[in-house]
Structure 1
Amino acid sequence: MAKKTKPIPVNTMTDNLDVGIAIEKISFEHLPPLTTVNTSDEDRLAHRHNTHTFHLLLKGTVTIDIDFQHYRMEPHTVIYIHPDQVHRTTAHDQITVVSLAMTNENLNPEYLNLLEDLVPVKPLALAIETFALLNQAVSLCLNLVNWKANGPRSAGPRSAKLDHSLLKDACNAMVGLILSTYLEQTKSPNKLTRFDLVTKAFRKHLERNYTTAKRPADYAQKLNLSTAYLNECVRNTTGHSVSHHIQQRIILEAKRLLYHSDQSVKEIAAELGYDDYPYLSRLFTKATGMTALAFRTKNRG
């Protein structure tokens, strides 16, 4: 019988809150060292979510790993984590945090589009005025959750659909405030050059097609551009070629699977669209300076 391999865990939303939206304010004491974690402690194990998640740290400190990047969060900081990103909390001390999770269907379509363009992002320290405004939005969302669960029913049952719409609108306002703060750190959309717009479109296609489209010409064709012009745009904007970005996206997913699953290199290669798994092994070694198995051993050990 073939050995059953484990994929990267995907933590689903809690089902005790509104469908497609979950928001809660939680306090934690000191987190024990990572070496003491057991397999039932889901928050300590590397995982993905099936939602877009936003975390506003009100008190204490948190260290978190997101796709092999190590971050430390201080009070009055916020972080956005995309559903594709693999992450785990490695330490925290005396924290109070507000966490919001929303599915694609509940996010404002414009916000969803902008979020896709943001990834990856770092924790963002908030100005006093921005934090105060965001905290008001948080309070409204939490109050609506409480009102929905415990509000008076003397006037008859309220519409569940209306309750959901109210919560969705309030949570989208919170997301909008977080988004606007992140976007202040980046180039304004109305100042994007032609090169920027082409690169943005390329990245969207890359995220959706990296397991099937491996050549720059594949993406040039999707964008109705010449390969040379696509490469010029991407290199001008990012400093790297189209081929580099394709390879880096594949290597990132390979790293995720090597570290967070127990799939074999051959199984990982097949998942990433390679019939010839030695080719992926050579590509991984060239990009990282070590073999796939050496990467797994080093980072797990």
Structure 2
Amino acid sequence: MHLLTASDLRIPTYPLETNGQAESLQIRKMSGVTVHGQNDLLISHRKGYYFLVLLWEGSGRHWIDTTAYSLQPHTLYFTVPRQVILKEELHPVSGFNLNFTEEFLALDGSGTLRQLPIIQNPHNGHALRLAPADMAFVQDILEKMYAEYQAAHPWQYTMLLAYLNVLLVYLSRLYTAQYHPLDAADGAVLLGKFRTRIEESFTQHHDVGTYADMLHLSAGHLSEVVKEQSGKSAIAHIHERLVVEAKRLLFHTEQSSKEIAFQLGFEDASYFNRFFKRLTQQTPLQYRHGVREMYQ
């Protein structure tokens, strides 16, 4: 890592350029390429523009200020000009790279775009995990922007600004949902939404991360709010719902433990048996025999 010394004076800021020519907006479609070049690898720097990457394939690692990020698919990464970037690893990625400057934002005479959370970035964020519907929406807008950017149509910048407006408003909604601290009332609403999602999907999804994606939140934030509101962890809510359904099927049906396991989304019946015993201190068959004896 290159540590900046007093002789460096300041962290370098890179302008938005294409082949040495200044630009106010730039959009690239990447297929198995590195996000950045090698020239500033392991050198702390800032970008003099807003930088967005929609990633659907690939990996890598970098730092934003004092936080390390390992790139993951189905995520939108973003930086604003004040953030300090350090690229630690480069690997081929596929997705879209959208860059734009303050000058391009100034084309919005109302000043609305500059006030959006994704631009203001009050929580110093960098990543937005995208649910499948969000991924499809954002990718569609970027596809349209890319096609417009490649063509030389009249009023090109007016069209690009219109697309950017839609994109930034949409991303700001996701940003607010993911980063904005919830008050007690909002927390109760979120707990209700989480329980509803579990009820809809517990036989397909057993992990907190998937439900967090559905609610446009990080898994850590969802777990924190659920624990605060209910006194139980988010994963405990999911497991309890599975156990309730398993008990119902064991008591009311003649399905085998293996059949019940598959019905509840467990690929391995032996894992389901261990899961059930860990939460109830009984195997599925022990529970079935015991509870049926009680009601004879």
TM-score of the superposed pair, with normalisation by structure 1: 0.50
2:15 is the alignment partner of 1:12: yes
Select which of 60, 63, 78 maps to 1:62: 60
Q: Does the Cα contact within 8 Å between 1:111 and 1:179 map onto a contact in 2?
A: no
Select which of 93, 96, 102 maps to 1:95: 93
Q: Does the Cα contact within 8 Å between 1:57 and 1:76 map onto a contact in 2?
A: yes
Q: Quote the offset at 1:140 in angstroms.
A: 0.5
Aligned to 2:72: 74
Aligned to 2:175: 182
Indicate how the Cα distance of structure 1 residues 27 and 190 shifts in structure 2: closer, same or farther if over 3 A, else same: same
**Rg larger in 1 or in 2?**
2
Q: Quote the offset at 1:65 in angstroms.
A: 0.3
The aligned runs of 1:255-294 (5 Å cut-off) are: none
Q: Which has the higher contact order (CA 8 A, sep 6+)?
A: 1
Counterpart secondary structure, 1:75: coil
2:162 is the alignment partner of 1:169: yes
Counterpart secondary structure, 2:92: strand
Q: Does the Cα contact within 8 Å between 2:75 and 2:127 map onto a contact in 1?
A: yes
Q: Quote the offset at 1:45 in angstroms.
A: 2.6
Indicate how the Cα distance of structure 1 residues 55 and 173 shifts in structure 2: closer, same or farther if over 3 A, else same: same
Indicate how the Cα distance of structure 1 residues 47 and 110 shifts in structure 2: closer, same or farther if over 3 A, else same: same
Residue 156 of structure 2 aligns to which amino acid in structure 1? D
Q: Does the Cα contact within 8 Å between 1:73 and 1:123 map onto a contact in 2?
A: no
Q: Quote the offset at 1:190 in angstroms.
A: 12
Q: Does the Cα contact within 8 Å between 1:27 and 1:96 map onto a contact in 2?
A: yes
Q: Does the Cα contact within 8 Å between 1:26 and 1:96 map onto a contact in 2?
A: yes
Q: Deviations over 1:159-196 (max 9, x none)?
A: xxx2111112212322222222111224499999xxxx
Q: Deviations over 1:55-111 (max 9, x none)?
A: 111211121200021011211101221101110222243311312112223335323
Q: Does the Cα contact within 8 Å between 1:59 and 1:97 map onto a contact in 2?
A: yes
Q: Does the Cα contact within 8 Å between 1:22 and 1:100 map onto a contact in 2?
A: yes
CA distance in structure 1 between the partners assigned to 2:8 and 2:90 by the alignment? 31
CA distance in structure 2 between the partners assigned to 1:191 and 1:21 by the alignment? 41
Q: Deviations over 1:129-150 (max 9, x none)?
A: 00000000000010001112xx
2:133 is the alignment partner of 1:126: no
CA distance in structure 2 between the partners assigned to 1:178 and 1:50 by the alignment? 21
Q: Which moved more, 1:129-138 or 1:162-171?
A: 162-171
Uncovered stretches (5+) of structure 2, i.e. residues with no partner: 1-5, 186-296
CA RMSD in angstroms comes to: 3.2
Indicate how the Cα distance of structure 1 residues 44 and 22 shifts in structure 2: closer, same or farther if over 3 A, else same: farther
CA distance in structure 1 between the partners assigned to 2:34 and 2:25 by the alignment? 28
Q: Deviations over 1:251-281 (max 9, x none)?
A: xxxxxxxxxxxxxxxxxxxxxxxxxxxxxxx
Q: Does the Cα contact within 8 Å between 1:21 and 1:168 map onto a contact in 2?
A: no
Q: Which moved more, 1:119-128 or 1:76-85?
A: 119-128
Indicate how the Cα distance of structure 1 residues 5 and 80 shifts in structure 2: closer, same or farther if over 3 A, else same: closer
Counterpart secondary structure, 1:45: coil
Residue 110 of structure 1 aligns to which amino acid in structure 2? T
Runs of 4+ in 1 over 3 A off after TM superposition: 3-6, 15-19, 27-31, 186-192
Indicate how the Cα distance of structure 1 residues 139 and 49 shifts in structure 2: closer, same or farther if over 3 A, else same: same
The aligned runs of 1:249-260 (5 Å cut-off) are: none
TM-score of the superposed pair, with normalisation by structure 2: 0.51
Q: Percent identity?
A: 19
Q: Does the Cα contact within 8 Å between 2:80 and 2:121 map onto a contact in 1?
A: no
Counterpart secondary structure, 2:29: strand
